[in-house]
Structure 1
Amino acid sequence: MRSGFQEWGDTLAYSLDKKLKMVGQLERYGGQYIEGNWPFSIPVLSNDLIESGFLMAILLFLTIFIMPLFSRELRQNKQILIGYVFVIGLHQIMAFTNACIYQTLMARNDARGFHIFARELARNEGWNFDFSIGQEFYIDILTTVYRWFGSSHLLGEQLSILAFALSCIVFLKILRQLEAGRYRLFALLAFGAYPTMIVYGSITVRESYEVFFFMLTVYFGIKMAGKGGANLYLIALILSALAAGFFHQALIFYMVFLVLLFLAWTFLPITRLKNIKKLSLVAWIIIPFILVGIIIFLNMKMLDLRPANRGVFSTLIDVNWLEAISNYRVESIKNSGRTAYGVYLDITSSYMMVYSGLKLYVYYLFAPFPWNIGSLTDLYASTESIMRMILIYFSVKQWRKAYGSQRRLLGLMLILYFSITFMWALGTTNYGTAMRHHMLSWWIIVIIGIPPLMKKLGRFLFRSIVNSSSHRLEVTSENLDRN
C-alpha cells in the first residue's frame, strides 16, 4: 500500500533537482527509502498518524472566532462582525472537512505533503530551522509549531486560517486608508468568500501567509507615504517585506521592487530630489541594498552548502535572465497537465518578445477562455477570470474618476496589481497554478473595483424596481379604465 507521501511525491509538479533536494533533506534526518520509483516516491520516517496537537488546534479555532474582541476593525459595526464570522465559518468548514471527513482535491498533493513532511521532521531531534527560502521555509515553520505543540493536520490548517483572519484586519485597515469604506461589507465578503481563498486559505499551504505579509507590507507602505519622510513605518515595511520574501523565491525580487516603489512614492513626489533631506535620501538609496543583504546573510549556509539553491540569487547577476525565463517556461509546459495554456516566451526578436510577453500575460489573467471549457474545473476557472476582468475594468474606471490624493493612492494600488500579476505570469504556464497566485492580487481589485461595481448594481436594481413598479401601475390603471 502506498503512503500519502509517496502519492504526494508522484503528483508534485516540481523538477527532478527539487525532488532530489527534498529527499536529501529527509535522508539527512534519518529517512528510510521504501518501495517506489525513487526519487518520485519520497522516503517516509514513520506512518504514525496520532494527532497530538489537536487541543492546540481547538484553542486556535476559538482564538480566531473571538479575534473581534481584540480588533477595532472587526467590531466597528454589526455588519462587519457578521461578515467576518461568515467568511471564517466557510474556511473552518473546509478545514474540518479536509482534516476529519474527506480530503478535497486541493487538500491533497502539496497540502498533505507539507503536513507529513513537517510532522516527520518534528519527530527528529537532529532537525533545526535553517532559514531556507520558499517551501522549505514554510515547512520549517510548520515543523517548529508541531514540535512545540504536537503535530496535527487540523493545527496546520488553523495556522493558515489565522493568517487569513489577520489578513481580514489588514484588508479593512487598507480600505480605511483608501477612503473606500462605503461598501466595506461587500468588499470583505468578496475577499473572504472568494472560492479560491476558501479552498487554499484553509489548508496547509503557504498562500495565506504570502497574502497576509504582502498586504501588511502594502499597508505599512501606505502609512509611511501618508506620514512622509523616513519614519518608523519604514522599519515595519522592511520587516514585512522580508517575511513575505522568505515564503517564495519570486517574492524576494518583488519585495525589493515594492520597497523601492514605496520609498520613491514617499519622497520623490513631495519635492525635488535635490531638496530631499539627507536622511531620507540615504534611506531611499541604502535600504533596498540592506534588504537584499539581510536575505543573503541569513542564507549564507544555503549558498555555501546547497548549490542547487544558488539560483535564488543568481538571477540578480545573470545577464541572460530572459533566456532563463524562456527556458523555464519550456520545461514547465512540458511537465504541466491538462490545465496548461502552453504560451512560450519568444526572445528571438524584440517584436516577438513583446508580443509573446503580452500574450502570456493575457492568458495568465483570463485563461481558460469560454471555448476552452471542457470540465467543471474549467468552468469555475473561466467564471473566476470573468469576475477578474469585471473588477479590473471597474478598478481602472474608479481610478480615472478619482482626484487628488485618492487618485494617487488608487494609481499606486493599480501599479501593485499589474506588477505582481505580470511577475507571476512570467513563471506560470497553467491556470491551475495561476488560481493560487491570483490570491495575492485579488484583494487589490476587490478594494478598488467593488465600490463602483456595487454602485452600478445598486442603480441597475433600483431602476429595475422602479420600472417594475411603473409597469404594475400602468396595468392597474388600464384595468381601472376598462372597468
Structure 2
Amino acid sequence: MDKHLKRGISAVDLLFLFLIITQISCFIWIFPESWFGFLIVITTYYIPLLIKPLNNNNKILLSTYIGITIHHFVAFRNGFFAPTFGADKDASGFFEDASSLAKYADQLDFSIGSDFFKSFLAIIFRYLGDSKFLGSELSVLFFVLSLIFLCKIVVLIKKENYLFHVVLLFSCLPTNFLFTSVTLRESYQTFFFILASYLALQLIERKSLTKLIQLLAPLLLFGALHNGLVSFIPIFLIVSLFYSLDGKKIKFSRGVKFILFLLCLVITVSSFFALTKAGFSSKASESVVSGEVFDYSQEYRDVENSGGSSYGAQFNSVFSLPILFINYMFAPFPWQIRNSLDLYAAFESLLRFLLIYYAFKGIRKKKKNKEDTKALAFLFLISLSLELVWSMGTLNWGTAMRHHLIAYGILLVLGIEGLTNSFRRRLYKIYN
C-alpha cells in the first residue's frame, strides 16, 4: 500500500476515544457487574488505531469501526434486554450453565466440546463478573482478533487493495454479527481457525520448527471447542506440512515430495491416535480411531439436526459424501425456500458459491501465468476441508449457517478480488 495512505493516531482519534471512555464510565457506574465487559468495549475501539493493516487509511478504519459497533450493539441488546435473533437457545444455555458453574462448582470439567467452553466462561465469570453482557463482549473481542489476523492474511497474499471490502463484508454479514456477538463458540472457533491459517502460511514461507510449534496451540484450542473439530486437526497439519515441503531455494521432485508427504501423514496420524489414546479426544475422534465414523456421524446428525430446514441426505458411506457436501454448502435450493429465513440462507449460499468460484478461477489464472499459488491453494484446500468435516454432521441449513462462519473469512479473502471486479464490470455496463 502507498505510504501516503498510511496514518497514525490523530487528535480526532483521541477525542473519539475520550468520548467513548466517558460514556462507558457512566455505564460501569450503572452496571458494576459488567465492568470488564465495558473495558472490552474500550479496548476493541482502541486496538484498530494501533494495529496494521486496520489503521492503514481512514476508509479501512471506518469500515472496521462500523463492524465493531454493530457487534457491540448486538452484545448490548443481548446482555441487557431481550435475546437477539439466534441467541435465545444455545447462547442463553451456555451463559446459564457457565454462570451456575462459576457460583457453585468446586471443580470445572474441561472435556472437549461444550464443557470446555462453559468452563472457560465460568472462570471469567467467577473472577471478572457474572454478566451475560461480559460473555457477549468476550465473543466480540475474539471477533476483533479474528478480523486483525484475517487482514494480516490479506497482506500476506498481496491483496491489500481489497482490505476495505474484506473488512466490510466480513464484519457486516448478518450471521456473523448475530452469532459472534453472543455467548456462542463461533467467534472463538473463527479466531483459532484464522490464526492457525495465518501461522501455517508463515510456516509454509519460512519452514521453521518454531512456527510449527506455534501452529499447534491454536489448532488444539480449535479442536477443544467442539467434538467434531478434533478430527480436523490432523487434516490441517498434513496439508500444512505438505505445502511447506519445498520453497524458493529448495525444490523437491514429485517422487521425493510423495515420500515426504507419506512421512508427514504417518507422523501426523500416529500423533493423532496417540493423543486420542492419551485422553485428548472426543466422541468424533474416537469414532475415527475405532473405524465407526459413519455410525457416529449419522447418530450426531439424528440428534442435532431436526426441523423444517433439514435437507434430508444420509451419510452411510463415502459415496454419499459428495451429495451431502453439496447440500451442506449450497442448500436451500430455490424449491426448498418456504420463509424469509430460508431466503436469507439461500442468499448466503449464493455468496458462498460465488466466492468459491472466483477463488478457484483466480488460483487457476495465476497458475497459468506461472505465478506462485502455494498460499492461495493451501487456504482454499483447508477451507473446503473444514467445510467437508462439518458437512458430515450437519443436516440442517439453519445449523449450517453457523458452521459456515468459521471458513467464511478465508473464502472471502480468496474470492473477493474476482467478486469485486465482476460487480464493478456489471455496474459499468449498466451505467454506460
Category of TM-score, reference length = shorter chain: 0.7 to 0.9
1:118-137 to structure 2, matched below 5 A, reads: 118-124=98-104, 126-128=106-108, 130-137=109-116
> Is residue 118 of structure 2 the alignment partner of residue 139 of structure 1?
yes
1:370 to 334, 341, 344: 334
3-state SS, counterpart of residue 131 of structure 1: coil
> Is residue 287 of structure 2 the alignment partner of residue 315 of structure 1?
yes
Amino acid at match of 1:235: I
CA distance in 2, matches of 1:366, 1:132: 33
> Is residue 339 of structure 2 the alignment partner of residue 358 of structure 1?
no
The alpha carbon displacement at 1:361 in A equals 1.2
The alpha carbon displacement at 1:357 in A equals 2.0
> Is residue 406 of structure 2 the alignment partner of residue 435 of structure 1?
no
Quick check: 1:122–1:147 contact (8 Å CA) kept in 2?
A: yes
1:100 to 58, 72, 80: 80
Change in CA separation of 1:367 and 1:141 when aligned onto 2, cut-off 3 Å:
same
CA distance in 2, matches of 1:241, 1:191: 22
1:51-66 to structure 2, matched below 5 A, reads: 53-66=33-46
1:156 matched residue in structure 2: 135
> Is residue 135 of structure 2 the alignment partner of residue 165 of structure 1?
no
Residues 241-286 of structure 1 show CA distances to partners (whole Å, capped at 9, x for unaligned) of 111111112211111210121112111674259979xx99988864
Larger Rg: 1
Amino acid at match of 2:398: G
> Is residue 379 of structure 2 the alignment partner of residue 379 of structure 1?
no
> Is residue 233 of structure 2 the alignment partner of residue 261 of structure 1?
no
Amino acid at match of 2:75: A
3-state SS, counterpart of residue 132 of structure 1: coil
1:422 matched residue in structure 2: 388
Quick check: 2:157–2:376 contact (8 Å CA) kept in 1?
A: yes
Amino acid at match of 2:45: F
2:15 matched residue in structure 1: none
Change in CA separation of 1:148 and 1:405 when aligned onto 2, cut-off 3 Å:
farther
Change in CA separation of 1:414 and 1:342 when aligned onto 2, cut-off 3 Å:
same
Amino acid at match of 2:112: I
Change in CA separation of 1:82 and 1:338 when aligned onto 2, cut-off 3 Å:
same
Percent of pairs with identical residues? 31
The alpha carbon displacement at 1:221 in A equals 0.5
> Is residue 91 of structure 2 the alignment partner of residue 111 of structure 1?
yes
Quick check: 2:284–2:296 contact (8 Å CA) kept in 1?
A: no
Change in CA separation of 1:406 and 1:446 when aligned onto 2, cut-off 3 Å:
farther
1:88 matched residue in structure 2: 68
1:446 matched residue in structure 2: 412
CA distance in 2, matches of 1:357, 1:125: 42
The alpha carbon displacement at 1:438 in A equals 0.2
CA distance in 2, matches of 1:176, 1:221: 15
CA distance in 2, matches of 1:296, 1:70: 44
> Is residue 339 of structure 2 the alignment partner of residue 339 of structure 1?
no
The alpha carbon displacement at 1:68 in A equals 1.7
> 5+ unaligned residues in a row in structure 1: which ranges?
1-49, 304-308, 348-352, 468-483
CA distance in 1, matches of 2:360, 2:233: 24
Residues 106-143 of structure 1 show CA distances to partners (whole Å, capped at 9, x for unaligned) of 11111001111111111125133x32101111101100
2:180 matched residue in structure 1: 201
> 5+ unaligned residues in a row in structure 2: which ranges?
1-29
Change in CA separation of 1:389 and 1:144 when aligned onto 2, cut-off 3 Å:
same
> Is residue 364 of structure 2 the alignment partner of residue 400 of structure 1?
yes
Of the structure 1 ranges 95-104 and 161-170, higher mean CA displacement relative to structure 2 is found in 95-104
3-state SS, counterpart of residue 395 of structure 1: helix
Report how many residues are paired. Answer: 396
Change in CA separation of 1:389 and 1:122 when aligned onto 2, cut-off 3 Å:
same
Q: Over aligned residues, Cα RMSD in angstroms? A: 2.6
Quick check: 2:276–2:286 contact (8 Å CA) kept in 1?
A: no
1:23 matched residue in structure 2: none
The alpha carbon displacement at 1:169 in A equals 0.5
Amino acid at match of 1:445: L
CA distance in 2, matches of 1:53, 1:285: 51
CA distance in 2, matches of 1:65, 1:110: 28
Residues 133-164 of structure 1 show CA distances to partners (whole Å, capped at 9, x for unaligned) of 01111101100100111100000001000000
Instruction: Give TM-score, length-normalised by structure 2.
Output: 0.85
Of the structure 1 ranges 107-116 and 356-365, higher mean CA displacement relative to structure 2 is found in 356-365
CA distance in 2, matches of 1:325, 1:232: 35
Quick check: 1:238–1:291 contact (8 Å CA) kept in 2?
A: no
CA distance in 2, matches of 1:271, 1:171: 31
Change in CA separation of 1:325 and 1:312 when aligned onto 2, cut-off 3 Å:
closer
Amino acid at match of 1:389: F
Residues 6-43 of structure 1 show CA distances to partners (whole Å, capped at 9, x for unaligned) of xxxxxxxxxxxxxxxxxxxxxxxxxxxxxxxxxxxxxx
2:193 matched residue in structure 1: 214
> Is residue 69 of structure 2 the alignment partner of residue 69 of structure 1?
no
CA distance in 2, matches of 1:326, 1:137: 24
Quick check: 2:230–2:285 contact (8 Å CA) kept in 1?
A: no
Amino acid at match of 1:317: V
Residues 173-215 of structure 1 show CA distances to partners (whole Å, capped at 9, x for unaligned) of 1111111121110011111111111110000001100000011
